[in-house]
Amino acid sequence: MPHLLQSTCLAGLVISAVPVGSISAPDGFARQGKYQYGPCANTVVPDYLRANFNTSSAGDLPLNIRLYMHIVETNIGDSPAQELLDNQVTVLNSAFNPHGINFTYSGKTETYNTTVWTLPYQDFVTTFVPQQRQGEYIDLNLFIHSGLQLAGIQSTTIDPDNTWGLPPHHGEPHTGLLGVSTWPVPTNEDLDPYGDSCVIEAYSLPDESSPVLIANGMTAVHQVGHWLGLLHPFQGKDLNLDGHEENDGCAEPNDFVPDTVPQKTQTSGCPAWKSTCGNATVLDNIHNYMDLSAGECLTEFTPGQGVRMRAVYNNLRVGHKQ
């Protein structure tokens, strides 16, 4: 059976991104920073993403990517306002436009279903997503749901004390799952392009009036970075997990981007100073969208990340078999 690879964002938990169907349950929670984004891990990196993509394939012309949003709720009254969807598009473009990537809102679907979020994740992406997905493999399909939980990814509550201020979902505490994204895949891989998607928690949509601490749009920015082939800047140590040479995170190839700083550990909160690879004059990537700093700390992609995203898009998404 074709399968998809995912990267998973959780509130305060590290969990591996693996071929769907072999996901272990989380068992911890940690939080720092008033506007915390939330740790995300994709610790099993497909071999085809272990590459410095040919920079010439990034091209000189900007990418204009169609964005389809899919609201999936149990009740009509739970749907986020259109203003919040528009806010999310603005936040995405603020982050990606400096690197020649633009998202054009191209419409939305609304589905009211009481059982879809109890599906195992692989069933979700192989049965539900293809029914809703619009456009082609070059188009971003963003699924949005409040009280996000997908069976097979997570079976325990991450934030039992509700420190994030996330409302309960049908009387149950929020699990702490913020988002899931599939990786881009090469055209010769036996993977199903129709399940290609990002899924985010509705309460992460940017809303200045919300008391929820992650209502800043950073969940989508980070996940779309993965959708475009970016790894974490502390990725080097994670490449050991599937038989590759050991690395403490401070050695190349790290995240396969030449202008991100080698980094041993993910960042929490928004520290004024953090340097984990022995060079006290060089700070970690604490302001980078692909680190795990608090939301107010995240302000940038590097030029090299911009080149990689465009190159990955042109290599793995443009012309993909449908």
* Residue 301: inside a domain: no
Q: What would the mean pLDDT of 234-256 be, rounded to a whole number? A: 68
Q: What is the pLDDT of residues 200-222, one digit of tens each?
A: 989 899 998 887 778 899 989 99
This prediction has a pTM of 0.83
On whether residue 152 sits in a domain, the answer given is yes
How far apart (Å, rounded) are the C-alpha atoms in residues 302 and 308?
Answer: 10
Residue at 293 is within a domain:
no
Residue 255 covered by a domain: no
pLDDT of res. 99: 97
Note whether residue 179 is domain-resident. Answer: yes
Reply yes or no on whether the pLDDT at 234 is more than 90: no
Q: Which of 129-133, 150-154, 279-283 has the highest mean pLDDT?
A: 129-133
Q: Please tell me the total count of domains within the chain.
A: 1
In-domain check, residue 234: no
Residue 67 is predicted with a pLDDT of 99
Mean pLDDT of 59-81: 91
- Nearest residue to 200 (alpha-carbon basis) of 80, 312, 306, 105: 80
User: What integer best gives the mean pLDDT of the chain?
Assistant: 76
Mean pLDDT of 158-169: 61
d(CA 184, CA 309): 11
- Domain extent at residue 48: 6-227
Cα angle 270-34-10, degrees, rounded to a multiple of 5: 85
Does residue 239 carry a pLDDT above 80?
no
CATH label of the domain that carries residue 158: 3.40.390
Q: Is residue 87 part of a domain?
A: yes
Mean pLDDT in residue range 18-43: 30
Evaluate whether residue 290 is within a structural domain.
no
Dihedral of CA 208/214/220/221: which sign?
positive
Q: Model confidence over 88-114: pLDDT tens digits?
A: 999 999 999 999 999 999 999 999 988
